[in-house]
Amino acid sequence: MRTLSRYWPRRVGPAEPLAAALMDHHRTGRARRVQAWRADGVGFEIDTQEYFTLEGTLASLDRLAIERAQGRVLDVGAGAGRHALALQARGLEVTAIDLSPLCTALCRERGVRHAQTLDVMTLDDPERLGRFDTILFGMQTIGLAGGVRPLGKLLERLRACLVSTGEILVDSSALRQAWEGDLEDASPERGEIVLSTRYRGWRGDPFPWLYLAEEDLREVALAAGYETTLLGRVASGEYLAALTRRGETDLQTGGQAR
């Protein structure tokens, strides 16, 4: 049956192959590898080890985000809970959300006190979660917006989840390898790609993902009512930014983000 599953994999939800690999890693103590493909045929591997440590390639950005966070924190796309656990260790109140029930269970097993299954993109009543001082999209989870327009709508909705002085912390990067080979495309939409993953005998349904250059994030955030502050960048191109709500006067007069 295991051999057959290699050729006729079971189709599951988009997040489930990675979620299953993370749970296997947690319960066995051994890192797993998830196969990922872009719709244009570009493939790569996801190593689960980076989901269990803050010492990976984005370590400096992770440290900045953990130190910057304050008050009540919403950890979006919590995965294995690495950010939530670090924030809890600082004494902050953290709500971790993930669209995968398996990841929610994993977060709880690892000690995240408040974890729930929730897809932030389908959140029709943002205020049901209450208000937060910090909303964290760590490890490029802002990519789950899937596109520039959906991201703008998401940021607009999240205004209802932030206290007036709150921040959204986002790390992302520009798309490094051109989508479908279009080297001339420099638009924000260039970062809109489609991915699918496979692990063991599970094949996840395709899903949209977004890579966003700093200047493009700044433009989308401005239109949604936020100012953008760059907090840090690593050599490989990833950056961390803070989005803060602009005042109503700024929105009415069309003031520019700094």
pLDDT digit string, tens, across residues 146-204: 999 999 999 999 999 999 999 999 999 998 776 665 656 556 567 889 999 999 989 99
CA distance 160 to 174: 28
Task: Report residue 130: phi and psi, to 5°.
Answer: 90, -175
Task: Report residue 170: phi and psi, to 5°.
Answer: -130, 130
Residue 184: per-residue pLDDT: 60
SS3 173: coil
Residue 227: per-residue pLDDT: 97
Residues (pLDDT < 50) of the chain are 1-5, 7, 248-258
Distance in angstroms between the alpha carbons of the first and the last residue of the chain: 58
CATH of domain 57-174+185-193+208-253: 3.40.50.150
174: region left, alpha or beta (phi > 0 left; psi from -120 to 50 alpha): beta
**Nearest one of 76, 133, 86, 139 to 111, comparing CA atoms:** 86
Q: With residue 117 as reference, give the H or E element that holds it.
A: strand 115-117
pTM of the model: 0.89
What are the residue ranges spanned by the domains of the chain?
Answer: 57-174+185-193+208-253
Residue 3: per-residue pLDDT: 45
CA distance 38 to 207: 10
Residue 124: per-residue pLDDT: 74
Q: What is the 8-class DSSP label of residue 206?
A: P
Residue 122: per-residue pLDDT: 86
